[in-house]
Every structure is written in structure tokens, then in C-alpha cells.
Amino acid sequence: MHSRFWLIIALVFSSLLAFGQNSGKDAEGHQWWQHAVFYEIYPRSFADSNNDGIGDLNGIASKLDYLKELGIDAIWISPCFPSPQVDFGYDVSDYEDIDPMYGTLADFDKLAAAAKERGIHIILDFVVNHTSDQHKWFLASKSSRTNEYRNWYIWRDGRGPNQPPNNWTSEFGGSAWKFDPPTNQYYYHFFYAGQPDLNWRNPKVESAMFDVTRWWYKRGVSGFRLDAVDTLFEDPALKDNPQDSEKNALGDFKQERIYNQKLPEVHDALRGLRKVADEYDAVLIGETWTNDIAELNKYYGESNNELQLPMDFLFTKVDKLSPAEFRKQIAAVNAASGWPTFVISNHDIERSYDRYGDGHHNDEIAKLMGALYLTLRGTPIMYYGEEIGMKTTPPTRKEEVKDPVGRVGWPKEKGRDGERTPMQWDESANAGFSAAKPWLPVPPTYKTHNVADESKDPNSVLSFYKSVLKLRHTNPALMEGNYVPVNESDQSVLSYLRTYRDQTVLIALNMTGFMQKISLSKSGFKSAASLLATSKSAANGDTVTLEPFGIYIAQLAK
């Protein structure tokens, strides 16, 4: 009778709280993106419709029903614009088109329409810091010192023969300056040499970039993930960064990037981008590598007028199953000045499956991590393949490496290919990703971890993700509730409540390989009705028993 009652309540609430596309706020003043589950698609690796070994937009369109059924409300597509692909799309040569390897603008429009039909929002990746060296703006800029686009990028004389303007190093190795013989000057590139930095101090750059966002908003895009926002501005005097005597994995002396990262002017640019976004009711997600919550707060903006969803990567820095560490990060971001955004994997970092897996219980731990970040107060951004327990599979030989970072850093730094392998759809050749040889090898785990098989298995990681996402979308406390930590000194089980009006949901996560018990009485509750739990985790009166890495999510009563 209990579960039936709660189901009816949940359905009533979820219809009250439901959103159409951009239909404003719910009863609690929350906007669609605050309850949405976002899903990052690395387009090269998701689904290949024309069998050339590279994923594409029609491939994504063919999987929308899968995404809908999984419980996804918005997809963020990593760059799919024309690009020489030196950094696999993060080197854009035209912001207002689609690369032929991914399809056409007409394909994009079809995808957008099909997504809209299913209530799925599309978020594009806006590479704001740099363009490709093949972008028409850069080609004009490098053509002569007097070209009208010269000042769209950062050009300087060297300090002397063969000496770059200062000591800044590139994130991808070597000097951040490349000499250009025809005009006898250096240009600045924080990333690869094929990714020259735009000069955001030039108002023409700013306004051209704002216009790019307008162009896509008018085409139906619901927002952007802004790439590398930390690096938009540089010290105009180009002062040397303080440098260590120790080298990094790429062989450069470590630097404190005080003159070319996180400059305060970044926030002027973000406020400008937000102003345009607000005209279209759009959402801005930021790639924000912050060191602490004070820095994260800056990205929300003093009056919440910058990024709605700056990604909280501090969460990904907790690299072991430590209730105390997670508790600390969750509490900190809940006390921040904006809405939390949780990420556990993406195309630049080791997959969570390996970061937290112990080698024996990886699937259980993958479910545990899913239960954690999909039940918190805040917006989760999933990464494709996380829902089936995809494993980071780095190249084993230097000749196989595709990522420029791995080619420079081999063998210490193997690059990011390992977390970008093709999506594992089924057990057939190439994991059903493509009939041709995929651009990156399919990991051997596709035989055990793939969508088709896991869909049939009620105990799979995928089935668990579907269940937890369903609960998240229908349970009012999970949608709207506050985050309340409980049993805060417990070193083994991470427990918290989500409370909304007279409802309380408990989430208890056993982060150890041993059975654990927790007591509800300390928080004043007498009984629990399970909403979702692993098979051997259950409550008896006010005591909850959790199997190793067990999960227990329940409605509490006093």
C-alpha cells in the first residue's frame, strides 16, 4: 500500500513539476536545466551512420530513443564544426557550419527537430578561447601585420633571435608561442599550435563571438558548454610566469599560470555571453577547473549573471571511495552561490569506472557512483558509456596514439584516447558502433558491457542507471529537496537525505567491500520504505543493512 501511495504522489508531483522546452520555472522557481540530466556525446565515438569509422550526427539521431528511454533531457555534443581535427574538433575553422565528417547543417536541423520531439535539449560546445589556425579570421590575421584581422589574435615580437616573447608554456607541451616567418612575429596558443588564442580584448572579437551564439540559438540550440573559459585573457604586458625547477609529464618546467589563466577580465566576457543567452532563455555550462568553491562562486557571477552551470570538477578530484571526502565536496558546493553541477567523467579524464573501481567490484561501484551523483541536489552531466560501465582503455603503443597530448607525453602521459573509445552498443563486430574499422579501437570489454546485453539484464549497470534516473525524474524530494547530510562521522557509509515539504528520502551508499549497518533513529526516523536498493540491502525497523558497495534509497517515515 505504501509504495502505491508514493507512486501516485510522485506522478501527481512530477506532472506539476514537469517542463516543456524552455517553458519557464516550476513551483519552486527552478528552471528546466536544474532538473535536467545532461549527457555528453563525443560525436566521433557515439554512433557511425555512414560506416566510415567516425561517429556522426545521423548516428546520434538514430540513438535518441535510447537516450530518451535512459532518462536524458539534454545532450551536449562536443565540437562537430568544421575542423582540421588536430584536437579532434576543439580546433574550429568555422563556427557556423557542421564538419562534413559529421554531416551537414540539414542533418543538424533534423537532429534538432527529432530531439525536440522527444523533449531533449541540444547543447553545443563553444570553443571560445581559440580557433583553428585554418579559420578564415586567422588566415587573414597571419597574412600581414596590417591586415584588419591582425589584432584578432595575439601577435608579438620575440625577445631576441629564436626567443619567444615570454616563458609561457602550452598545455599541450612546449612554448605557447609559434614563430611565423612571413611576418616575423610569434602568435600565442595556450593549447596546440593549430589552436591560436583569440584576442578577447578586441571588441570585434567579442561581438563576433556573441553573434555565433545568437546564430545557433536561432537554430534551436538550448545553450552552450563553454570550452576552456579560464584561459580567455592574458596579461597585456606578457610578464613571465613563476616557474618551478621540476618538470611536468610533457617535459616542460611547471609554471604557476598567474599571467595567462583565470584573469578577472574572464568574467566580463562571461557576463556578455550570459546577456545574450538570457535573450534566448539559454543555459551556459562552463569548463571551470576551479581550485575551491570561492573560485567556483566567481563563475556563477556576483549576481548570478555569468554561468548557470559551472562544472564542479572538485568532485572528480576525489579519486577514492571516501565518504568523508565526498561529504566535504557535496556540502561545499551546496553552500555555493549557485546551483550545483556534478560531473564524474568526461572526454579529458579517466573514466569514473576505473577511477573508483577496485578491479573486482567495478560494476557494483559504477552503480554506487551513479546512485551518488544522480540523487544529489544539482544537475548531473553524464558522459556517454558511463551508464554501461565503459572502461578507460588507453593505447598500448605510441604509434596507435591519436591525441596530440599522448604523442608529446608518451609514455608518461598517454593522452585521452582511452576515455574516447567507441560506444559499445552490442556484441557484434566493432561493438555495433560502425561496420568499418573505428577511428579508435573498441575495448575488449564490449563483449561483457554493451547496451543490447545490459538492457536484458535487470542487474546490469545500465538497468540500474535507468532505475535511478526514473526515480530522480519522478520523486519530488529528489527533484526539489534540500540536501541534508546524516551520520557525518561514518567512515564507511555515505548517507544523506533529500527533504521536500513533508517528504524525506534517504540515500545510503556503502563505500566499502564489507557489510555495514546504519541507524535511522539518530535522525529521528522509525521506518523506511525502499525505493531502490541493491539486492541484499534492506531496512529492519530503524536499522539499514548494506551489502558490500550496497545502495539503499528509501522514503522515510517518523
Smaller CB distance to ligand NOJ: residue 416 or 498? Answer: 416
Going from the C-alpha of 177 to that of each of 156, 158, 170, 249, 506, the distances in angstroms are 9, 9, 8, 19, 53
Nearer to ligand NOJ, 325 or 348 (CB): 348
Interaction between residue 99 and Ca ion (CB under 5 A):
no
User: With binding defined as CB under 6 A, does residue 230 bind ligand NOJ?
Assistant: no
Q: How far is the CB of 189 from ligand NOJ (least distance, A)?
A: 10
Q: For residues 244 and 61, give the distance between their C-alpha atoms in angstroms, rounded to a whole number.
A: 48
For 314, left (φ over 0), alpha (ψ -120 to 50), or beta?
alpha
And the C-alpha cell for 27? 513551483
User: Binding of ligand NOJ at residue 87 (CB under 6 A)?
Assistant: yes
Residue 348 contact among ligand NOJ, Ca ion, none, beta carbon within 5 to 8 Å by kind: ligand NOJ
CA 159, 162, 165, 167 torsion: positive or negative?
A: negative
Residue 417: CB minimum distance to ligand NOJ, A: 12
What does the alpha-carbon distance between residue 330 and residue 376 come to, in Å, rounded to a whole number?
Answer: 8
CA separation for the pair 456, 447 (Å, rounded): 14
* DSSP secondary structure code for residue 529 in this structure: E
The three-class DSSP label of residue 175 is strand
- Report in angstroms how near the CB of residue 100 gets to ligand NOJ at its nearest: 21
**Residue in the shown chain whose Cβ atom is closest to ligand NOJ:** 90
Rounded to an integer, what distance in angstroms lies between the CA atom of residue 163 and that of residue 240? Answer: 13
Site for ligand NOJ in 165-194 (CB under 6 A): 191
Select from ligand NOJ, Ca ion, none the partner in contact with residue 54, using the beta carbon and a kind-dependent cut-off of 5 to 8 Å.
Ca ion
* Of the candidate residues 14, 31, 52, 239, the single one contacting Ca ion (CB under 5 A): 52
Cβ nearer to Ca ion, comparing 48 with 234 = 48
Query: Can residue 417 be called a binding residue for ligand NOJ (CB under 6 A)?
Result: no
Instruction: Closer to Ca ion by CB, 48 or 287: give it.
Output: 48
On the CB side of 518, CA atoms within 13 Å amount to 32
Q: Is residue 232 part of the contact set for ligand NOJ (CB under 6 A)?
A: no
326: Cβ contacts below 8 Å, ≥ 6 apart? 315, 318, 372, 494
> Which residues neighbour 385 within 8 Å (Cβ) at sequence distance 6 or greater?
351, 421, 423, 424
Residues 6+ apart with CB under 8 A from 355: 316, 319, 344, 345, 349
How far apart are the C-alpha atoms of 232 and 8, rounded to whole Å?
50
| The one catalytic residue among 96, 278, 279, 319 | 279
Sign (positive or negative) of CA dihedral 462, 467, 472, 477:
negative
Q: Does 54 bind Ca ion (CB under 5 A)?
A: yes
Among positions 109-128, residues that touch ligand NOJ (CB under 6 A) are 127
Is 439 a binding residue for ligand NOJ by CB under 6 A? The answer is: no
Q: Which does 40 bind (CB under 5 to 8 A by kind): Ca ion, ligand NOJ, none?
A: none
Count of residues engaged in binding Ca ion, rule: CB under 5 A:
5
Q: Which of 6, 39, 90, 224 binds ligand NOJ (CB under 6 A)?
A: 90
Q: For the chain, what is the largest distance between any 2 Cα atoms, rounded to a whole number of angstroms?
A: 82
Q: Which three cell numbers stand for residue 309?
A: 552551470
Minimum Å distance from CB 437 to Ca ion?
A: 12
Q: Where are the alpha helices (DSSP H) in 430-535?
A: 451-456, 461-474, 476-480
Q: Which of 77, 226, 228, 273 binds ligand NOJ (CB under 6 A)?
A: 228
Nearer to ligand NOJ, 74 or 451 (CB): 74
User: Is 48 among the residues that bind Ca ion (CB under 5 A)?
Assistant: yes
Over the range 204-236, which residues count as b (16 or more CB within 10 Å of their CB) and which as e? ebbeebbebbeebbeebbbbbbbbbbbbbbbee
Name the binder of 252 from Ca ion, ligand NOJ, none, CB < 5-8 A by kind. none
Smallest gap from residue 128 Cβ to ligand NOJ (A): 9
Check if the beta carbon of residue 133 is closer than 8 Å to that of residue 195: yes
Name the active-site residue from 99, 227, 363, 480: 227
Q: Residue 521 is inside which H or E element, if any? A: none
Smallest separation (angstroms) from ligand NOJ to the CB of 56: 19
Residue number with CB closer to ligand NOJ (44 or 347): 347
The entry of Ca ion, ligand NOJ, none that residue 191 binds, CB within 5 to 8 Å by partner kind: ligand NOJ
Asked if residue 348 binds ligand NOJ (CB under 6 A), the reply is yes
Q: Is 279 a catalytic residue?
A: yes
Is 287 a binder of ligand NOJ (CB under 6 A)?
yes
Q: Which of 56, 99, 107, 306 binds Ca ion (CB under 5 A)?
A: 56
554 binding partner (options ligand NOJ, Ca ion, none; Cβ < 5 to 8 Å by kind): none
Sign of CA dihedral 8, 10, 15, 21: negative
> Least distance in Å: CB of 32 to ligand NOJ?
24
CB of 434 to Ca ion, least distance (A): 7
Neighbours of 264 (CB within 10 A): 8
Q: Among Ca ion, ligand NOJ, none, what binds residue 227 when CB lies within 5 to 8 Å by partner kind?
A: ligand NOJ
Decide which of ligand NOJ, Ca ion, none touches 87; Cβ closer than 5 to 8 Å per partner kind: ligand NOJ
Min CB(52)–Ca ion separation in Å: 4
Q: Does 227 bind ligand NOJ (CB under 6 A)?
A: yes
Let me know the angle formed at the C-alpha of 428 by 423 and 432, rounded to the nearest 5 degrees.
35
Give residues in contact with Ca ion (CB under 5 A): 48, 50, 52, 54, 56
Active-site positions read 227, 279
Give residues in contact with ligand NOJ (CB under 6 A): 87, 90, 127, 191, 227-228, 287, 347-348
